[in-house]
Copies of this chain bind each other. A is one copy, B any other.
Amino acid sequence: MTTAYVYARPQVSTGVRQRSGCAQCHAHEFTFCHALAKATAMSGLRMLGPTPDVHTVAPRRIICREQDVLAHVPVICSGWAASAVMLSDGSRQILSFLLPGDLVSTALLFEPKPNCFVEAITKVTYRAFNRTDLKVAMFSDPDTAAQLAHLWIDEKRRADETIVDLGRRSASERIARLILGLVERLQNRNMTMGGAFEVEFPLRQHHIADATGLTPVHVSKLLSEFRRNGLIRLSERSLAILDLAGFRAVADVR
């Protein structure tokens, strides 16, 4: 077992509200919100109320907790967050990283209780859609339903992949696969910088450790090894994959 990395309990965000349009959302046109807006517009109905307010939370603040009962479904507009579970010994497991455009969890569409807590990694803005509105939209518009089904399938596929990674892959493989998965998701959102394999990368090594089931110490050693072998460049909150083939080889099946 991993030892307890005891985290100070972060304060719950006050959820500062701001008004602003969806237009500036990094990932708007690639994700759920867009489809939702389109479906709503096309059907001619105002199924959804006015676009919900934007909430802003600072890094390391909690967006929602495990025991919360949410009347709304948060959708990340900007920034990175993590959904995670805390163990009683103080260690934690990150279930998934949330990027702009991501629903916190599709399960929240049907159930008010997330079974994990969600913490901002960078400064995060999100909108909280009303659950009942979303349900109505979903049942009355097949397009929206299909879109949500797609999100669901994708969420589940990634969870299953995580299970395989944690169950059957070495530390280097886990880290490499995590990074490649994140880069791919950023590419899908047009969130790369310069080259397609250079991205902003706000994760701390302890985030990587908590997502891969390793210790921060070991993560540090393996990242150094990756750097030493010319596979990646990682510094100043930015990441570049220098040797894609080589890095994929590390990530893959051994």
Query: What CA separation (Å) do A163 and B87 show in the bound complex?
Result: 12
Q: Which residues of B contact A106 (CB under 8 A)?
A: 152, 156
B87 touches A253 (CB 8 A): yes
A164 to B89 CA separation, bound complex (whole angstroms): 13
User: In the complex, A110→B157 CA distance in Å?
Assistant: 13
Q: Are A160 and B160 within 8 A (Cβ)?
A: no
Q: A162 to B163, Cβ gap below 8 A?
A: yes
A50 touches B (CB below 8 Å): no
Known: A107-B156, A110-B152, A139-B145. A253 touches B88 (CB 8 A): yes
Q: Which of A72-80, A165-173, A227-235 contacts its partner? A: A165-173
A91: chain B residues within 8 A (beta carbon)? 168
Question: In the complex, are the beta carbons of A170 and B1 less than 8 A apart?
Answer: yes
Measured in the bound complex, the distance between the Cα atoms of B169 and A85 in whole Å is 13
- Chain B nearest CB, measured from A96 CB (Å): 9
A168's contact among B93, B150, B156, B170, by CB below 8 Å, is which? B93
By size class, the interface of chain A is: 35 or more
Distance to closest chain B CB from A119 (angstroms):
16
A184-200 interface mask toward B, CB cutoff 8 Å, 1 = contact, 0 = none? Answer: 00000000000000000
- Closest chain-B Cβ to A16's Cβ sits at a distance in Å of 29
Which residues of B have CB within 8 Å of A157? Answer: 107, 115
Asked whether any CB of chain B lies closer than 8 Å to the CB of A101, the reply is no
Contact of A160 among B109, B115, B150, B169 (CB under 8 A): B115
Query: Of B93, B139, B167, B173, which is within 8 A of A139 by CB?
Result: B139
- A213 CA to B85 CA in the complex, in Å? 20
